Amino acid sequence: MKVRFAVAAAVAGLIAVAPIALAHHSFAAEFDGTKPVRLVGKLTKIEWTNPHSYLYLDVEIGGKVSNWGCESGAPGALSRRGFKKGDIKLGDTLVVDGYLAKDGSHLIDARRVTLPDGRSIYGGSEGDGGPGDPGSQKKQ
């Protein structure tokens, strides 16, 4: 338990000091902050690309399967937070928490990705003004 706590705390600390990257666009220009989504599904495609990385999941509800895209930070940003290419492979089950695209498509902004090893990684783009963004939280 102590080990788990320490790992979680260290990961959170690493997120806290991750170098800020320039947001490619504002969170609010694309995603609906009133529509949180949790997706649990099997990884069908991985795109380690710029300006965003994408994880695609087959999500099953009531026997029906649909494919969803999960937009997250660029590969360099994820890597600096401890989320490396080798941490996932096709067929893995991921849990992705985020917000639905305003255009209603099956695309979410992945603010939190829970990996097969249990780690939860911040997936957003710093400076985009989205939830959890260390670069643009409302000043407390």
Ordered alpha helix ranges (H), the chain: 2-16, 75-80
Please give the Cα distance from 61 to 21 (Å, whole number). Answer: 36
Cβ proximity to other proteins, 87 vs 114, nearer residue: 114
Q: How far is the CB of 88 from other proteins (least distance, A)?
A: 16
Task: Specify the residue, 43 or 98, whose C-beta has the smaller distance to other proteins.
Answer: 98
Q: Could you tell me the smallest distance in angstroms from the CB atom of residue 9 to other proteins?
A: 4
Of 86 and 138, the one with the shorter C-beta distance to other proteins is 138
How far apart CA 54 and CA 52 sit, in angstroms, is 6
Minimum distance between the CB of residue 63 and other proteins, rounded to whole angstroms? Answer: 10
Q: How far apart are CA 51 and CA 106, in angstroms?
A: 19
